[in-house]
Amino acid sequence: MITLVTLTLMTSLTDDLIKQHGADQKERIERGINQCKALWNKKTDGDFDAFVKQHFISDPKTLKLTFDHFEANFEAMDGHFLEIGRELRKATELELGPKTAADDIFATYEPSAHVTDDLFANKLAFIALLNWPLTKLKERLERGGQWSRDQWAEARLTGRFSRRVPADVTQGIAAASALGNQYIDEYNVWMHHVLTDQGERLFPSKMKLISHWNLRDELKADYADTAKGLEKQRLIVKVMERIVTQTIPAAVIDNPNVDWNPYSNKVTPSPAAEVEADAPKRPVDVSGKAEADVRYVRLKANFDASKKADPFSPATPTAIDRAFDLGAEMPEARVKELLTAVLESPLVPKVAAEIEKRLGRKLEPVDLWYNGFVPRGKIPEEKLSELTRKKYPTPEAFAKDIPRILKELQFPPDQAKWLAEHLVVDPARGAGHALQAARRGDFPHLRTRVMPDGMDFKGYNIAVHELGHNIEQLYSLYEVDHTLLAGVPNTAFTEALAFVFQAKDLELLGQGKPDAEVERLRVLNDFWQTLEIAGVALVDIAVWHWMYDHPKARPAELREATVKITKDVWNKYYAPVLGGKDTPLLGIYSHMIAYPLYLFNYPLGHLIAFQIEEQVKKKGTLGPEFRRMAKFGAVTPDLWMTNASGEPVSAAPLLRATEGALK
C-alpha cells in the first residue's frame, strides 16, 4: 500500500514535471511514474525523483529517436545472445560426434540470464517504463485492434519489463529446461530388442526410436503393415505405458545389449547374433530395476525452477498464468473452451465409426494415432524411407533441395532462392526442431535426425515441418515493420504454419496431388489429430495445477498424480470410442518433461492451421499467402487471425468442415 507520505511525494513530483513539460503531458507523466514506482527498489535503485526528472521525455523527436535506438539495440542483444546460446548447446543438440560432461554444463548455461537484471540496474528498463505505456492482456485484447503498428511496438517494448525476475531465477529455469531436454534427447528404445510374449522380434535391426516422437510415428507407420501392424502397435503402446508409469526397467533405455518383454517386464541378455555390430556397448543388467521416477524428477525440477519466478510476477503469479496470459496471450479458460469444443463434439463418435469401418475392427487405444485418412497410411513407411534416404543422404542434400521444395509450395523463384540462402540445416541428436534467429543478419537453423544411411521418412516428415517454422521465422523477422513485433502471436501460430508445410510432405516427394476424396479425408484427419492432442494438453495443464496445489510433493507422488490425471482424462473423452479404460497413454508426450506447459499449443495450432489452409484454398496460392500472414508480426492471436483469414481463432471452421466431410 502506498503511504500518505509517498503519495504526497509522487503528487509533488507529478506537479514539478507538469510545470516543466506542460499540462498536455499530465497523463503520460502519471502513467510513467506509476509504472516505474511499481518495480523500483528504494534500496538499490537510488533517487527516484532525480531519475524521473532526468529521463522523462516530452519532445516528440527525441522520444522517437530514443524508441528507435531501443528497438535496434534490443534486436542486437537478443540476436547475439541467442547465437551464443546456440553455440554453447551445439555439442548436445547436434549429431557432431561424442560429447563430454562439460558440454552438458555448457548447455544449461543461459548467457542472457542477467540481461533483465542489468537493464533494471542501469535504469534502461525504467526509461522504457517511464516513457511508454505498459499494457495488460485485457487492454490488448479489447483495444489492440484500434492501435497503430507503432503503438503495438511500444507495447512490446514495455512488455519486456512487466516483471523483474532475478538472474539466478532465470538461469535456474533455463537449466531445468536444458536438463529435461538432455534427458529426452537420450531416451531411445531399440525396437529389435523389444519382444512379444512369445519372444518374437517384430522390428528390424538397428531401429532406435526416441520417445515419444519416433515411437508415435512408428505406430502410425504400422497401419500399412497388414500382417503384423496391430501387434506392433500394441507392443509400442505397452512400451509407452511403461514409460509413463515408470515401470520401464532402467537397463533397457538406449541399450541394444538386452532384450525386453514389456508385457512381463522381463529383461534378458541379447544373443550375440542379435546385437547390432556398430551398436554402443552398455551394461547388461537383467534385474528389471525400474527407472526410479527420473521422468518425474525432471518434471518436478521444471516446476520448482518456474515457481521461483512467482514472487516477481505480481500480475501473473504462476507459471500457468504466464504461459497463457504472457506466452499465448489467450486466457486459460478460452483455450480450454476451444479444446473441449472438439473433445465434446458429437462428431467424435461419428468420425470414430468411420475409422472402425475402414479398419474392419473395433477401435482400441492404438487408434489414438490413426493415420489412415492420409495417403501415407496406405504406403509402407519403409518404401517412403527408401525414397527419402536416396534423396537425402545428408543434411546438406536436404538443404540443397529447399529451393525446389519452396517452388513446389508456390513461392516465387526469387523468394525460394532468398529463403533457402537464409537458413541452415543441422543434424539433430534428438527428434528435431527449428531454432529461430533474433536479429537480421543471422539465420534460423533447421534440425532433424539424419541416420548414417540417410534421412528416413520420419526425419523427412519432421524436416518439412521444421522448414515451415523456419520460413515463418524468416518472414516474421526480416519483413516485419518493427523488430519488436518479430514473430507470431504465440507458439500455436508457428506450429500452425509448420503444419501447413507438413501436410504437403508426400506431395513434395512426388506421391501425387490430392483429389476431392483426399481433401475430404484430410478434414477428417485434421479433426482426429486435434482430438488426439487436445486431451494431452488438458493433462499437461492439469498436472501443473496439481503441482501448484501440492508444491512439496515428491517425484513418486507426482507420478501417481500424473497417472491418475491421464486415466481420468482418457476415461472421460477417449474410452467411450477407443476403449482401454484406465490407460495412462496420454502422459507419454515428451514435451511435459522438455518443454513445460507447451502442449496446448498443438491443438490450438491444428485449429489455426485449418483456418490458414482454408484461406490459402480461397486464394489458391500457398507461398504469397504464407508470406502475407507471417510478416504481420506478434500481435494478439485474434487480431492476427482476423488479418489472416477474416475471423478470430475458432474451432467452428474445423467442426463445420468435419460435419460436411462426414455427410
**pLDDT 10s digits, 257-285:** 999 999 999 999 999 999 988 888 888 99
pLDDT recorded at residue 377: 58
Peptide bond into 212 cis (omega under 30): yes
User: What does pLDDT average to over the chain?
Assistant: 93
Closest-CA residue to 539 (of 608, 479, 592, 486): 592
Distance of CA 23 to the CA centre of its chain: 47
Backbone torsion region of residue 99, taken as left when φ is above 0, otherwise alpha when ψ lies between -120 and 50, otherwise beta? beta
Q: What is the pLDDT of residues 307-335, one digit of tens each?
A: 999 999 888 999 999 999 999 999 999 99
What percent of the chain has pLDDT above 70?
A: 98
Distance CA 599, CA 604 (A): 9
Q: What cell was used for 323? A: 504461459
Backbone angles phi, psi at 266, to 5 degrees: -85, 140
- What distance in Å separates the CA atoms of residue 47 and residue 532, rounded to the nearest whole number? 56
Q: What is the pLDDT of residue 425?
A: 94
Name the nearest CA neighbour of 289 among 261, 248, 241, 255: 248
Nearest C-alpha neighbor of 534 from the set 496, 574, 491, 503:
574
| Per-residue burial over 529-538, b = 16 or more CB atoms within 10 Å of its CB, e = otherwise | bbbbbbbbbb
Distance separating alpha carbons of residues 75 and 70, to the nearest angstrom:
9
Q: Of residues 82 and 377, which shows the higher confidence score?
A: 82
The DSSP annotation for 292-354 comes to TTHHHHHHHHHHHHHHTTGGG-TTS-SHHHIIIIIII-S-HHHHHHHHHHHHT-THHHHHHHH
Please give the grid coordinates belonging to residue 464: 518439412
Per-residue pLDDT, 9: 52
How high is the pLDDT of residue 1?
40
For residue 518, which of 533, 508, 503 has the smallest C-alpha distance? 503
Whether the pLDDT of residue 551 is over 50: the answer is: yes
For 473-485, the pLDDT digits (tens) are 999 999 999 999 9
| Residue 98, amino acid | P
Instruction: Return the bridge partners of 446, or none.
Output: 425, 434
* Dihedral, 76, 434, 599, 580 alpha carbons, nearest 10: -170
Task: Name 432's bridge partners.
Answer: 448
Note the pTM of the prediction, 2 decimals.
0.83
Separation in Å, CA 344 to CA 340, 341, 564, 651, 662: 6, 6, 21, 12, 17
Cell of 458: 520420419
Q: Name residue, grid cell 534490443.
A: 74
DSSP symbols for 503-560? TTHHHHTTS----HHHHHHHHHHHHHHHHHHHHHHHHHHHHHHHHHHSTT--HHHHHH
Q: Which helix (H) or strand (E) holds 395?
A: helix 395-408
Q: Is the pLDDT of residue 5 over 50?
A: no
User: Averaged over 533-539, what is the pLDDT?
Assistant: 98
Residues 477, 483: Cα–Cα separation, whole Å: 6
Q: Please name the helix (run of DSSP H) or strand (run of DSSP E) that holds residue 448, with its range, or none.
A: strand 445-448
pLDDT score recorded for residue 3: 44
Which residues, at least 6 apart from 528, have a Cβ–Cβ distance to it below 8 Å?
351, 355, 370, 373
Q: What is the pLDDT of residue 464?
A: 96
pLDDT band with cut points at 50, 70 and 90 for residue 10: low
256 band by pLDDT with thresholds 50, 70 and 90: very high
Angle at 16 between CA 14 and CA 22, to 5 degrees: 85
Taking the C-alpha atoms of residue 489 and residue 366, their distance in angstroms, rounded to an integer, is: 34
Q: Say whether pLDDT at 100 is over 60.
A: yes
φ, ψ of residue 281 to 5 degrees: the values are: -85, 130
Q: Three cell numbers at 286?
A: 537383467
DSSP assignment of 451-500, as one string?
BTTB--HHHHHHHHHHHHHHHHHHHHHHS-S-GGG-S-SSHHHHHHHHHH
Q: How far apart are CA 77 and CA 56, in angstroms?
A: 24
484-504 per-residue burial string, b: 16 or more CB within 10 A, e: under 16: bbbbbbbbbbbbbbbbbbbbb
Query: Can you tell me the distance from the alpha carbon of 212 to that of 283, in angstroms, rounded to the nearest whole number?
Result: 24
Assess whether pLDDT exceeds 70 at residue 628: yes
Q: The dihedral of CA 423, 427, 429, 431: what is its sign? A: positive
- Rounded average pLDDT over 526-539: 97
CB 173, CB 305: distance < 8 Å: yes
pLDDT above 60: residue 2: no
> Whole-angstrom Cα distance, residue 583 to residue 365?
8
Q: What pLDDT does 381 receive?
A: 85
User: What pLDDT, on a 0 to 100 scale, did the predictor assign at position 243?
Assistant: 98
**Cα–Cα dist 639/142, whole Å:** 10
- How buried is residue 179: exposed, middle or buried, by Cβ count under 10 Å (0-12/13-18/19+)? buried
* Arithmetic mean of pLDDT, 556-575: 98
Q: At 538, phi and psi to the nearest 5?
A: -65, -35
Q: What is the pLDDT of residue 280?
A: 85
Burial of 114 (0-12, 13-18, 19+ CB in 10 A): middle
pLDDT tens digit sequence for 145-198: 999 999 999 999 999 999 999 889 988 999 999 999 999 989 999 999 999 999
| Pairing verdict, β 432-435 and 208-210 | unpaired
**Cα dihedral 330→642→474→405 (10° resolution):** 120
Q: Look up residue 19 and give its three cell numbers.
A: 510545470
The whole-number pLDDT of residue 4 equals: 40
Please tell me which residue, 94 or 379, carries the higher pLDDT value. 94
d(Cα 183, Cα 205) in Å, to the nearest integer? 24
Q: Kindly report the CA angle at 407 between 517 and 86, in degrees rounded to 5?
A: 105
Could you give the 3-state DSSP secondary structure of residue 100?
A: coil
